[in-house]
Structure 1
């Protein structure tokens, strides 16, 4: 499991894609497996339109990349809890890619390589592959009958939130029927809950009175959007000890969203995008989705540092004003640790982006 570098980004690379492209385009479908061993086994068995992720979960970047070559994607993940969790997460992402995803079920405890090495026939399982949304409903419905009422309501609403993201009304109705049968609820009740959620989302998306610091995502500067997406696509790039002031000077709604991202990173190690996404309001989810669709390419460490440098150059006055105000408070409270941290931050800025004419802006010599 190799570490990432500027030239090796797991979130955007797929094992075997270079040799599988032609077969994928000819067959208008692609098989996605979890590792190169499964990929090699699939190709040996004649499924030459197979690719694999490289030691990481399938990302939106992967889906968008594959959607350039085929409209259908078949998932062959290990039949264990981790594989199931990965598929459930993909359900929350796949509506953003122009692709239809299907789940190929394997026997418990097996992966594609182990299944094929005993001369099993994969064909019937591919033919009976399950739509990913139907899979999501079925899995979330497991244990529903004995779950407490609060969990039942939560499961149903979670499913309907996903169905609401689908643009095709006919597919929505088909999945609503599946959900109503799975949970033993009248179709009209499920349909009404969908309408309620859509209406609520529309109400929340209506323009609200803007204060001095808030603005719609469309009005956010390009550099802020790119910097935010660089962080969200590879959260490990962001060092809270060094880069925290970046969040302080992002405009809304990115400021609030980025703070939630930091909290999620601190409380969940390793960072889980789906947990972070669940903490967002409907408006914030919409903003993040729009940005991730627009800025799909992952950013290397060096490219991130260039974005950070550009942002600092554009915002150096506001950043210095903030440091000055925080220094005044720290001096008043006798907080030497904070004073040292702020002066170190100022020194780094002074060395990189602050114009020479403004380098005494903070009254550094009086500290």
Structure 2
């Protein structure tokens, strides 16, 4: 008998699948449920415990218990077998030779689990660390459930850890490879020393990393330290507590996301067992994809500060490709779930105030919308339409457009017209950082504004101004400026948008369209004069040197006309500098 058949004979398929969907017995031979592989409202997923197989009449997924885990967790058949062996504590006898290496093979997960157990034992023996945990109302059951631990400080502790893992078949080299230990000057050390340890597990319950928190008042190190990322530990993909919460999420079809493991543990202790946490990063699409396998509704509990709001707004850009209801719960400033639960023992009142993420986005974007500048209004509207266009459901698109029109006080027909033309180039926040903008030094904002005024109206510039700007403008601003001035000087007319398209590259055109919004005044000429005054004050020494050099070159070339033009530029520069008190 091979390993796969052995597992199937040892395990009831109902037990496994029940952790992913709510099975109900129908008749004497079958169990039915909503399919965990696709969204549906009427159950079409059937399981036969006698035949040890499942089948969905909706999406046609079928197979045995190994196939089920393989597909639902998106892992290989061998990884599915390993997961089942560990999850259900199946003892594989030595007689099962085929694939027996699967059971005995050492993995980074096993090493991390050993370290977690070692730290947990140290916590229970360290009075100071254990008192710190208990003072924060963390029960002994929770300590055991999350394998909370403590990493002692010093060479003796490091030696004890090395001895412990060597007795379990691992080596110091592997501790170094997994970034649990580091080689210092003459001795090993760990950045986790003197920290409370929170083992981090993947969705299969395999320990893959750690979070360490300082707890002594005089400790000046960063409050939290997470394991370095590896091929199996990616902070943007792993949700702390998912291995524990998954069962509760599947039953309730809801999940809560908080911003850290201490909040997650506090939620768990107060009965919100369907809670997971991100690892010091904003919630990502990968996080939500994992939850979408088990939950229909996800509540995001974020601090009410600006960083929390911005994280939600960014997520709105991509979350609509998931078939789930995503709701936002904004907590009071300087409050988190742990602090609220300590005082109020519940967060139910905050849950009741949760709004779907799109409504939140609309209200956040539409707040004081009528008071915004035209530029900000255009960006907000186009960001909004960019999101709606990715929604596949036409009815949902229309509902959201109606809601947007109401909140932003824009006639629905105008908004729909703009939406119909959504394939045309629009200005969105995601487009603002163009490749050209990346080349421009942030300190060159003055040059950018000068270019913006010239894009508005190149007639404001004199020949002398053009000479000074060409002497000091940096690339790629200088290149765009040169093209505009060459066109303007030859055409002797105002610069129109359609003509910009003929003289600039697509990237240059997008950039100039963007910076046009930097100038909101109607008095372009006065704005340009003020900007040129700042430009001259900033660069007057190099401008004077440049003109003197050009004069010398013109004199050597016996170019009298150029010499006269340069003298005019020099005189104007001197006059302006005297006027502005620079000379």
Does residue 169 in structure 1 map to residue 399 in structure 2?
Answer: no
- 2: CA distance between counterparts of 1:152 and 1:115? 36
1:160 to partner: Cα distance: 1.5
Aligned pair partner of 2:337 in 106, 112, 117: 112
The normalised TM-score by structure 2 is: 0.34
Whether the 8 Å contact between 2:391 and 2:397 is mirrored in structure 1 is: yes
Aligned pair partner of 1:35 in 260, 272, 281: 260
- 1: CA distance between counterparts of 2:387 and 2:334? 28
Deviations 1:198-254 (A, max 9, x none): 5x48xxxxxxxxxxxxxxxxxxxxxxxxxxxxxxxxxxxxxxxxxxxxxxxxxxxxx
Aligned pair partner of 1:86 in 311, 315, 331: 311
Does residue 97 in structure 1 map to residue 322 in structure 2?
Answer: yes
Structure 1: runs of 5+ lacking an equivalent: 202-259, 269-279, 282-367
Relative to its length, the structure with more strand (as a share) is: 2
1:86 to partner: Cα distance: 0.8
Relative to its length, the structure with more helix (as a share) is: 1
1:73 to partner: Cα distance: 1.0
Does residue 122 in structure 1 map to residue 324 in structure 2?
Answer: no
Whether the 8 Å contact between 1:79 and 1:111 is mirrored in structure 2 is: no
- Bigger Cα Rg: 2
The match for 2:249 is 24
- 2: CA distance between counterparts of 1:13 and 1:173? 35
Aligned pair partner of 2:284 in 38, 59, 62: 59
- 2: CA distance between counterparts of 1:262 and 1:38? 42
- 2: CA distance between counterparts of 1:147 and 1:113? 37
- 2: CA distance between counterparts of 1:100 and 1:190? 25
1:24 to partner: Cα distance: 0.4
The match for 1:76 is 301
Higher relative contact order, structure no. (Cα contacts within 8 Å, ≥ 6 residues apart): 1
Deviations 1:94-113 (A, max 9, x none): 12223221111322332211
1:121 to partner: Cα distance: 3.8
- 2: CA distance between counterparts of 1:174 and 1:128? 21
Computed over aligned residues only, the root mean square deviation of the Cα atoms, in angstroms, reads 2.9
- 1: CA distance between counterparts of 2:347 and 2:413? 39
The match for 2:549 is none
Relative to structure 1, the CA distance from residue 84 to residue 267 in structure 2 (aligned partners, 3 Å threshold; closer, same or farther) is farther
The match for 2:375 is 150
Whether the 8 Å contact between 1:74 and 1:104 is mirrored in structure 2 is: yes
Relative to structure 1, the CA distance from residue 261 to residue 32 in structure 2 (aligned partners, 3 Å threshold; closer, same or farther) is farther
Does residue 13 in structure 1 map to residue 224 in structure 2?
Answer: no
- 1: CA distance between counterparts of 2:441 and 2:341? 40
Relative to structure 1, the CA distance from residue 30 to residue 264 in structure 2 (aligned partners, 3 Å threshold; closer, same or farther) is farther
The match for 1:178 is 403
1:261 to partner: Cα distance: 8.5
Q: Pairwise mapping of residues 302-321 of structure 1 onto structure 2 (< 5 A)? A: none
- 2: CA distance between counterparts of 1:262 and 1:5? 34
- 2: CA distance between counterparts of 1:264 and 1:190? 32
Does residue 190 in structure 1 map to residue 403 in structure 2?
Answer: no
The match for 2:364 is 139
Whether the 8 Å contact between 2:321 and 2:391 is mirrored in structure 1 is: no
Relative to structure 1, the CA distance from residue 58 to residue 263 in structure 2 (aligned partners, 3 Å threshold; closer, same or farther) is farther
Relative to structure 1, the CA distance from residue 9 to residue 166 in structure 2 (aligned partners, 3 Å threshold; closer, same or farther) is same
SS at match of 1:197: coil
Whether the 8 Å contact between 1:103 and 1:131 is mirrored in structure 2 is: yes
- 2: CA distance between counterparts of 1:166 and 1:97? 10
Q: Pairwise mapping of residues 207-222 of structure 1 onto structure 2 (< 5 A)? A: none
Structure 2: runs of 5+ lacking an equivalent: 1-224, 426-433, 443-505, 508-583
Q: Pairwise mapping of residues 187-266 of structure 1 onto structure 2 (< 5 A)? A: 187-197=412-422, 200=424
Relative to structure 1, the CA distance from residue 146 to residue 44 in structure 2 (aligned partners, 3 Å threshold; closer, same or farther) is same
- 2: CA distance between counterparts of 1:80 and 1:106? 9
Deviations 1:128-167 (A, max 9, x none): 3111011111111223222111211221111111112111
